[in-house]
Amino acid sequence: MKKIDLSISYFLTLIILELSIKVVVKEPIFQLSTINMVIFLMAVSIILTTLTKIFKKEKVNKTIYFIILSIITLWFSINYVLKSYFGFYLSWSAFKLADQIGSFVQKGVGEVLKRLPILIIIFIPLILNIIFHKKLNFTQQSLKRFFLNILLFIVFVGTYLLSLNIHKEATYSPYILTYEVNDVSLHVENLGIINTFWTDTIRTIFGFKDQIVIGNSPEPNRPEPTPEEPKVYTYNNLDIDFASLKENETNSTIKQIHEYMLNEPGTLKNEYTGIFKDKNLILFMAESFNEIAVKKELTPTLYELIHSGFEFTNFYTPTIYSTIGGEFQELTGLYAADLSVLSKFRGGNISFPEGIATKFASLNYQTFAYHNNSYNFQNRDRYLKSLGFNNYKACYNGLEKLIKCNTWPQSDVEMINATLDDYINEDKFMVFYATVSGHSDYAFSSNAMALKHKAEYQSFNLPYSEGPASYLAAQMELDQALKLLIDKLEEKGRLDDTVIALVGDHYPYELSISEVNEISDFKRDINVTVNKSNFILWNNKMSKVTIDKVGSQIDVIPTIYNAFGIDYDSRLFIGKDILSTTEGLAIFDNRSWATDKGIYYAATNKFVPSTTDVDNNYVRQMNQIVNNKITMSKLIINNNYYSKVFK
């Protein structure tokens, strides 16, 4: 019986692995880009076969074959685990988040066991190859076959390159993803893990410059003041002469950023400008907080804060590179474009003259930052300092003397109780809390905060399975921490002149989408609506204000600055004041987006309108705006742009 050529076994293994990943992470299979992926895998299979069969001894070739297959299988397995746990695929820049991935490794056995059925499926092709290895042809290839394989490789590569031109102008077509856009998630969704690995390797070695279109993509539907309005608002901009900066700049990239800012009008002041002027601010980044945790009986303080202050009904916390991505977006007003951006941010050497602590300190506020886990995890001690926080206390740089730092997760109630006295008697204060009580694991047996509130949670007789139940129980700790904070502020007579703001870093992605939907008021999809959440902006003396405009984490700082009447330049933030007249926009990890007019799913190029007022060019225009915002966020950080503006 004639043995099977290795090019066939390689191809079948690769295609099964690619399609398996698409199925388990719920990505589309039946799309035009799948053809591009298949052709590329044919070329890869030919070259791998050629590399495998170079020795005379079949045993050596067989060893090479199974080493290659094992590495490929392991690569797919790691990608699946990272995507299912952290929400991103493996790339070379992912190693810059080694400590975050390392935190997973510490409890990795349990997480791998949870995913064992899918991992077994991923390993099936390798297992089948081992079982039927005698049916495979490991004989050294002849010189004639070698040149034939090289010719076939060239043909397949040429066919692949030609296939990229099919519908090349389509949004995020394989052509655009190959030559114009650098987005790992979108690349995997369209062209697969093997193609993405190759492209990412080339870009890591030789670099890649994202394209940006300037001057042809104004923000759509920007309402301007009309003569009938009783008040004409000015723009929230500083006196920065971007034209002169551009003219005097020699660096082409910096010049390009100046030009972008020159064409960016900024956002208008509005009726809410200065509503909180001179008040104190306590800002939270709440670990894994999402609106699914807000239940009137279970978490009454969160419910009250959300429904009695500014109520943002279309707010999102895009899950991008886990906690560091969410915190970066909340504190900088920029999009977490890629891991290189987050790596530079974490280094603490980026200039943020408009950083929140720096800004409030310039107005004679005392600024403080706290975190109830390790102080230097992800270099939080460095990047908080670059934003102006010089009074930062966490576990193992002082807070461990005041709270129990050896539990997991640590207590938000203990953190609030231990730190209030630091600032509550100051004339004016601005405080940032990064909480941890809502962190996974979501099981009563392994989550100290869930266990702490288990009996209280169970008294409500809610019909949820253990994962969602322990998540809700853990979020009760955050709720009670907020109640403690409010009670103490009121006791000291500081509540009326203090604003509480809170946003989550990401949705609880350790819960499956079915578990999320178990406690959701509506059925969420895994790409966009799973990220729908709350933004708390509340003061005891304000009346409820409902804001239906779309917003996300990158809008938090500009919104706060406007509400506090702080002079700032809205052009320098990619996020915008949600209370302004600009159209709302939230950008997600694969360049999907949501606006006041609908939701766009980048992987399938599908737009779901929420209004009939959408013209034919709207999606194209919005994609250009989104690409520009992502690219500008990257350029601002990678070129330390703010230091060039505020010399």
Q: What is the pLDDT of residue 171?
A: 86
Q: What is the pLDDT of residue 612?
A: 82
Task: Go through 287-317 and write b for each residue having 16 or more CB atoms within 10 A of its CB, e for each that does not.
Answer: bbbbbbbbbeebbbbbbbbbeebbbbebbbb
Region(s) of the chain under CATH 3.40.720.10: 281-645
| Secondary structure element (H or E) that encloses residue 140, with its range | none
Question: Going by C-beta distance under 8 Å and a sequence separation of 6 or more, which residues neighbour residue 412?
Answer: 372, 433, 435, 436, 437, 449, 477, 478, 480, 481
Average the pLDDT over 18-31 and give the result. 87
Contact call for residues 75 and 122 (beta carbons, < 8 A): no
Evaluated on CA atoms 146, 147, 150, 156, the torsion sign reads negative
- DSSP string over 330-393: HHHSS----HHHHHHHHHT-S--TT-HHHHHHTTT-EEEEEEEEETTGGGHHHHHHHTT---EE
Q: What are phi and psi of 430, to 5 degrees?
A: -130, 125
Q: What's the gap between Cα 12 and its chain centre?
A: 33
Beta bridge pairs of residue 538: 500
C-alpha distances in angstroms, 474 versus 436, 466, 557?
10, 12, 27
Q: What is the pLDDT of residue 435?
A: 98
Q: Which two tokens stand for residue 566?
A: 């702080």
Residue 329: pLDDT band by 50, 70, 90 thresholds?
Answer: very high
Q: Which two tokens stand for residue 200?
A: 């990412």
Beta bridge pairs of residue 500: 282, 538
Residue 218, pLDDT > 50, answer no
Residue 93, pLDDT > 80, answer no
- CA 210, CA 627: separation in Å to the nearest integer? 9
Q: Largest Cα–Cα distance of the chain, in whole Å?
A: 89
Residue 211, pLDDT > 90, answer no
Residue 104, pLDDT > 60, answer no
Name the more confident of 384 and 114: 384
Task: Give the predicted TM-score (pTM) of the model.
Answer: 0.90
Task: State the DSSP code for 180.
Answer: T
Q: What is the pLDDT of residue 228?
A: 55
Residue 230: pLDDT band by 50, 70, 90 thresholds?
Answer: low
Per-residue pLDDT tens over the stretch 430-454 = 999 999 999 998 999 999 999 999 9
Superfamily of domain 281-645: Alkaline Phosphatase, subunit A (3.40.720.10)
Q: Which two tokens stand for residue 65?
A: 């074959």
- CA 382, CA 400: separation in Å to the nearest integer? 19
Average the pLDDT over 584-602 and give the result. 96
